[in-house]
């Protein structure tokens, strides 16, 4: 079945190859990617906080003005701190991710035991145990885990996206192929 995209399958494969290559580069220097990502997040928070503050001062008669000013100021403070101390910022993000993994792991463990009567309940238990273990290990290995975690996540995402785009492009190529008639 030919679609408008089947003739451009190579562009998708190229996108995938570039994403995959960037992912490998990010994995090689996960520390630099972690720090750069933290600085970028700091810039985004700073800009968002500034926009929120400007908005709060322009809309003077709004009942939520004080909370908007407070929120904007906190965004600016957090963004500034992340830009000035990206190492600390990446550790704070890692602590947050660690806490999320621990909480979601415990929740899945509890859910698994509540659903013991269902076939495969142990897979939910296993997933919960893995999340709990990863969360605890991330926290236990701070500050070092804070230096590589974000960069590794970015690398894995780029590699996974690259593989997906390559597969998609090759599938389009296959869909465009029309075998010769005998």
Tens of pLDDT along the chain (182 residues)?
Answer: 556 667 888 999 999 999 999 999 999 999 999 999 999 999 999 999 999 999 999 988 888 889 999 999 999 999 999 999 999 999 999 999 999 999 999 999 999 999 888 888 899 999 999 999 999 999 999 999 999 999 999 999 999 999 999 999 998 888 876 666 76
Question: From CA 124, how far away is CA 175, in angstroms rounded?
Answer: 37
Which tokens go with 110? 């509890």
Cβ within 8 Å of residue 13, ≥6 positions away: 165, 166, 169, 170, 173
Residue indicated by tokens 């013991």:
116
Among 167, 172, 164, 162, residue whose Cα is nearest residue 16: 162
In whole angstroms, give the CA distance from residue 9 to residue 166. Answer: 9
Joined together, the tokens standing for residue 82 give 């992340």
Q: Residues with Cβ < 8 Å from 11, sequence gap 6 or more?
A: 169
Residue 98: its pLDDT value, please?
Answer: 94
CA of 169: how far to CAs of 17, 121, 157, 163, in Å? 11, 37, 18, 10
Q: Cis omega before residue 143 (within 30°)?
A: yes
Give me the residue spans of the domains in the chain.
9-175
């Amino acid at each position: 079945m030919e679609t408008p995209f089947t003739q451009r399958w190579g562009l998708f494969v190229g996108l995938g190859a570039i994403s995959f290559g960037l992912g490998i580069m990010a994995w090689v220097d996960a520390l630099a990617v972690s720090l750069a990502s933290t600085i970028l997040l700091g810039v985004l928070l700073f800009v968002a906080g500034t926009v929120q503050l400007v908005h709060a001062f322009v809309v003077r008669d709004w009942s939520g003005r004080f909370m908007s000013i407070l929120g904007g100021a906190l965004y600016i403070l957090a963004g500034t701190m992340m830009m000035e101390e990206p190492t600390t910022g990446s550790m704070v993000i890692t602590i947050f991710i660690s806490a999320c993994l621990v909480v979601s792991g415990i929740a899945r463990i509890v859910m698994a035991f509540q659903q013991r009567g269902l076939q495969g309940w142990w897979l939910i238990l296993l997933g919960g145990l893995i999340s709990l273990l990863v969360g605890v290990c991330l926290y236990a290995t701070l500050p070092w885990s804070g230096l590589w975690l974000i960069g590794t996540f970015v690398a894995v995402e780029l590699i996974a996206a690259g593989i997906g785009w390559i597969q998609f492009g090759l599938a389009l190529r296959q869909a465009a192929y029309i075998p010769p008639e005998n």
